[in-house]
Structure 1
Amino acid sequence: MNAIMTQCKFELLRIFRNPYFVFWTLFMPIVFYFIFTNIVNTGVPDQNEWEAYYLMSMTTFSVMGSAIMNFGIRMVQEQTGGWSTFLKLTPFPAWAYFTSKMFGQLTMHLLSIIIVFLAGFLINGVSLSFSEWLFSGLWILMASIPFLALGSLIGTMKKVETASGVSNIIYLALAVLGGMWMPIHTFPAFLQHVAEWLPSYHFASGAWEIISGNSPDWKSYLVLVGYMFVFMVIATYVRGKQES
């Protein structure tokens, strides 16, 4: 048990020292939030509603980036650096290794949620009820798990450069097409239909529904669980083929 707790501690330290985490997960979402609520979209009919809506968009954008890029790229780095191979020669069980990584990543997701929420409050004075803050934060935290599965799939790549390039493309494509940067009703009809089947749209949509006084749609649960299952199965298969 002590070994697992020590590994969790190391995971937290490594994530926080990662420049990808600081830049993509914290700095960029807060900058985008300020730009799109105070410069680009000033004068919208309901400014307060827009500021709360876009705060959820940038929080999900932040957490999704951490799951896809930080988690996946770090796994590739450990594989190419021989760390994963070294652990297999120790008594440290494989399940404990992945548990500590998941714990560390979810802890950083929670930290990201708190920081971006705080930025929204300080920048625009976003005012939500306690239950809206709480349940939207819990939704974002738990609904980030499918993206950890996607990060795990990216982590099966053999080169850090390849993983970095692919994760950047996937991350930005999911963010834009999923409506995190701009509402999907501004898209052409074809892209709106595409967005409605993307995990990123349903990830953000659940938070949007909560701050509107509703519950996440059942379709959001099904889509996110479905993507999680697919990503996990493919990642497990690919990793098994590599080890064999």
Structure 2
Amino acid sequence: MNVITMQCKAELRRIFRNPYYVFWSLILPIIFYYIFTRIVNTNPDDKGLWQAHYLMSMTTFSVMGSSIMTLGIRIVQERVHGWSTYMRITPLPEGVYFFGKMFGQSVMHLFSIIIIFTAGYLINGVSLTASQWILSGLWILIGCAPFLALGTLVGTMKKVDTASGVSNAIYMVLAVLGAMWFPLDSFPKGLQLVSKWLPSYNFGNGAWELIQGNAPSWDNILILSGYLVFFVVLSTYIRKKQEVV
């Protein structure tokens, strides 16, 4: 238990010192939230609902980004610097090593959710019931699993610069096409159909449904589960191939 605790503490320290996390997961989503709810006049029919909707968009945007970029780039950095190889020859069990990573990532996500939810309340006075705040937070915390798997897939890349560029591109494309920045009904019909099959849209839509008093649809759950399995299988396959080489 002591080993697990120490490993988790070490992971947390490394994560919170990561500039990618501070900028992409905290600062940028809050800036976007302020701009699109206080400066840009989107003329929503229900301003309060729009402010709550966009708060969920920016929170899912934050957690998705930290899953893909912070985790993925950190894995590549550790391999490039020989840290992952070093960890294999220590007495530390591999399971403890990865448990520490997932624990640190989950705490980071929880911290992001709390900070951005607080920002929404302070900036716009977003008002939700206690169950809506809690269920939305839990959905975001659990629903990010496919993006964590995608992060491990990014982590199979050989160079940090490559991983950084690719993860940035994936992150931005998923955010824009997943309707996290702009409402889905502002897209052309064909693009709307594409968006509904993306993990980012289904991740965000679960939270959007919850703030309206509905449960996430089974489509959201099944599509996210499908992406999770796909990314895990692909990441595992690539890692095994790399170990053989």
Distance 2:98 2:109 in 1: 16
Could you tell me which residue of structure 1 aligns to residue 230 of structure 2?
230
Partner of 2:178: 178
Could you say which residue in structure 1 is the equivalent of 2:106? 106
One-letter amino acid of the structure 1 residue matched with residue 100 of structure 2: S
| In 1, Cα distance between equivalents of 2:75 and 2:213 | 38
Q: Which residue does the alignment assign to 1:54?
A: 54
Aligned to 1:133: 133
What does the per-residue CA deviation read over 1:75-97, in whole Å, with 9 as the maximum and x for residues that have no partner?
A: 00000000000011111111111
| Residue-by-residue CA offset, 1:113-170 (whole Å, 9 max, x unaligned) | 0000000000000000000000000000000111000000000101000000000000
Gaps of 5+ in 2: none
| Partner residue, 2:22 | 22
**Inter-partner Cα distance in structure 2 for 1:173 and 1:43:** 25
Residues 1:165 and 2:165 are matched in the alignment: yes
The aligned runs of 1:1-244 (5 Å cut-off) are 1-41=1-41, 43-244=43-244
- Between the aligned residues of both structures, percent identity stands at 64
Q: Compute the RMSD of aligned alpha carbons.
A: 0.7
SS in 1 for 2:237: helix
Q: Deviations over 1:8-52 (max 9, x none)?
A: 101111110100000000000000000000111354221111000
Deviation at 1:189, TM superposition (A): 1.1
Q: Which amino acid aligns with 1:107?
A: V
Q: State how far apart, in whole Å, the 2-side matches of 1:221 and 1:76 are.
A: 30
**1:145/1:42 CA distance change after superposition, 3 Å:** same
What is the CA distance between 1:182 and its match in structure 2?
A: 0.5
User: How far off is 1:4 after superposition?
Assistant: 1.6
In structure 1, C-alpha distance between the alignment counterparts of 2:100 and 2:36, rounded to whole Å? 36
The aligned amino acid for 1:162 is T
| Matches of 2:160 and 2:29, distance apart in 1 | 24
List per-residue Cα deviations over 1:50-70 (Å, max 9, x = no partner): 000000000000000000000
Supply the distance in 1 between the matched residues of 2:10 and 2:117 (Cα, whole angstroms). 26
1: distance between equivalents of 2:217 and 2:134? 18
Question: What letter matches 2:80 in structure 1?
Answer: T
User: Residue 95 of structure 2: SS of its match in structure 1?
Assistant: helix
How many residues are matched? 244
